[in-house]
């Protein structure tokens, strides 16, 4: 059903065979062979893109933190005149930056916990930006249908960039609505947990990185176990949202989670296990009347759960900040 809908909405060439997949110089569209699903290229591309996302977000946060620390030190008279300029960082160390960051985060977490539930739930600018981007791209795709091909990933396509852009494309208004509702419901709480500690940049890196990983998981599932669906386009933010949901469940295992239009609720940890079992069934057995991106969902769930369990802040985010700090310091950017 989803495939037929996409065939009607997407430009026909996104499903069309490509000569570049032919072999042996045959004159047919494929040279007598089905186009293959590339593995190495998309994997390297996604890995590089995730690294770039983390370093970019870390660099932005480090720059903001460094400027705030320098401004505060200059105001208090701690910086000598020669080092208070915008191009010098001789008086600033990474450990000092982290200490100042920790103090600021503790104050922010205390403020967050002192608020009432309604105030604490308010989404951050990065969550609002994600929602605005998804809504804006959906509107643009509706107004200019030819842009759909840039926001849907087909495993047999030579395009790698759609592994990233497809997380902002949506099939329908209902598809968009469900995803944005889930993002608005869970993201504000996840961003304030022990892993992210209110960091907009860290959460943005996690959202984009988990979306890329989910796109890659969906792509690789077209090799096995769903080779027959290699021509089906994949799109949507649900992979990244599943990562957020898993992060929420791992951080709040006893919180109650309900499903829209379904009575009752489950503890978050049990809901996570049930959702994982459902997605596994859908991936390996199939649910014909409910064509979901099970591979993308499973990848997102795995990424979100692992990120909290193995402390992604300590193992990924802090090293990314350290690398960004010393790189920017070397080139006198802070």
Residue 87 confidence (pLDDT) above 70: no
Contacts (Cβ under 8 Å, ≥6 apart) of 221? 283, 294, 295
- Domain residues of the chain, as ranges? 2-56+117-315
Topology of the domain covering 2-56+117-315:
Rhomboid-like fold (1.20.1540)
Contacts (Cβ under 8 Å, ≥6 apart) of 25? 31
Residue 28 confidence (pLDDT) above 50: no
Higher pLDDT, 25 or 141: 141
* Angle (nearest 5°) at CA 245 between 306 and 102: 65
d(CA 251, CA 315): 17
Give the mean pLDDT of the chain: 84
In this structure, are residues 294 and 279 in contact, taking their beta carbons and an 8 Å threshold?
Answer: yes
The residue ranges of DSSP E strands in 39-83, in sequence order, are none
Residue 31 confidence (pLDDT) above 50: no
Query: Residue 258: its pLDDT value, please?
Result: 83
Residue 327 confidence (pLDDT) above 70: yes
Higher pLDDT, 77 or 273: 273
User: In DSSP terms, which residues pair with 259 in a beta bridge?
Assistant: 262
Residue 30 confidence (pLDDT) above 60: no
The alpha carbon dihedral of 54, 42, 137, 190 has a sign of negative
Query: Residue 121: its pLDDT value, please?
Result: 63
In this structure, are residues 127 and 117 in contact, taking their beta carbons and an 8 Å threshold?
Answer: no
Burial of 16 (0-12, 13-18, 19+ CB in 10 A): exposed
Q: What is the token pair recorded at 259?
A: 């499903």
Lowest mean pLDDT among 56-70, 90-104, 311-325: 90-104
Could you tell me what percentage of the chain is helix, strand and coil, using 3-state DSSP and rounding each to the nearest 5?
65, 5, 30
Residue 219 confidence (pLDDT) above 90: yes
Task: Give the Å distances, CA to CA, from 176 to 6, 150, 168, 183.
Answer: 15, 17, 9, 10
Query: Residue 27: its pLDDT value, please?
Result: 32
The alpha carbon dihedral of 329, 320, 201, 97 has a sign of negative
SS3 88: coil
d(CA 283, CA 329): 47
| Average pLDDT of the residues in 180-200 | 95
pLDDT tens-digit map of 231-251? 899 999 999 999 999 999 999
Centre a 10 Å sphere on the Cβ of residue 284 and count the other Cβ atoms it contains: 10
Query: Residue 20: its pLDDT value, please?
Result: 31
If pLDDT is split at 50, 70 and 90, which confidence band does 1 have? very low
Higher pLDDT, 102 or 24: 102
Residue 234 phi, psi (nearest 5)? -120, 135
d(CA 271, CA 97): 39
If you search the block for the tokens 């290699």, which residue do you land on? 230
By DSSP bridging, strand 233-234 and strand 153-154 are antiparallel
| Average pLDDT of the residues in 253-261 | 86
Query: Residue 2: its pLDDT value, please?
Result: 43
If pLDDT is split at 50, 70 and 90, which confidence band does 294 have? very high
Higher pLDDT, 20 or 300: 300
Query: Residue 326: its pLDDT value, please?
Result: 95
Report the share of the chain in percent with pLDDT over 90.
65
Query: Residue 68: its pLDDT value, please?
Result: 86
Q: What is the token pair recorded at 264?
A: 């009752």
Query: Which of the residue ranges 79-83, 96-100, 183-187 has the most confident prediction, judged by mean pLDDT?
Result: 183-187
Higher pLDDT, 117 or 286: 286
Residue 33 confidence (pLDDT) above 50: yes
Single pTM value for the model: 0.84
Residue 177 confidence (pLDDT) above 70: yes
pLDDT tens-digit map of 117-135? 445 567 899 999 999 999 9
pLDDT tens-digit map of 145-171? 999 999 999 999 999 999 999 999 999
């Amino acid at each position: 059903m989803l495939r037929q809908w996409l065939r009607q909405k997407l430009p026909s060439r996104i499903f069309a065979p490509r000569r570049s997949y032919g072999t042996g110089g045959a004159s047919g569209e494929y040279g007598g062979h089905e186009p293959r699903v590339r593995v190495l290229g998309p994997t390297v591309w996604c890995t590089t893109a995730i690294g770039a996302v983390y370093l970019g977000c870390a660099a932005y946060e480090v720059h903001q933190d460094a400027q705030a620390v320098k401004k505060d030190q200059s105001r208090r008279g701690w910086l000598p005149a020669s080092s208070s300029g915008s191009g010098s960082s001789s008086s600033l160390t990474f450990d000092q930056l982290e200490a100042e960051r920790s103090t600021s985060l503790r104050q922010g977490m205390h403020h967050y916990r002192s608020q009432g539930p309604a105030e604490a739930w308010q989404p951050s600018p990065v969550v609002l930006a994600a929602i605005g981007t998804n809504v804006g791209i959906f509107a643009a795709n509706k107004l200019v249908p030819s842009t759909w091909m840039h926001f849907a990933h087909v495993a047999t396509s030579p395009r790698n960039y759609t592994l990233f852009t497809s997380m902002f494309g949506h099939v329908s208004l209902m598809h968009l609505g469900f995803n944005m509702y889930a993002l608005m419901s869970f993201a504000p709480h996840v961003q304030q947990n022990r892993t992210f500690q209110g960091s907009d940049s860290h959460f943005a890196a996690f959202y984009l990185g988990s979306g890329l990983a989910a796109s890659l998981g969906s792509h690789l599932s077209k090799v096995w176990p769903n080779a027959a669906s290699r021509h089906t386009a994949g799109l949507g933010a649900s992979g990244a949202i599943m990562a957020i949901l898993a992060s929420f469940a791992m951080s709040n295992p006893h919180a109650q989670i309900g499903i829209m239009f379904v009575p009752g609720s489950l503890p978050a940890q049990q809901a996570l296990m049930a959702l994982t079992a459902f997605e596994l069934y859908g991936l390996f057995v199939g649910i014909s009347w409910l064509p979901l991106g099970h591979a993308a969902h499973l990848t997102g769930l795995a990424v979100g759960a692992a990120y909290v369990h193995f402390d992604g802040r300590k193992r990924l985010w802090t090293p990314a900040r350290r690398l960004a700090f010393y790189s920017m310091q070397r080139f006198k950017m802070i």
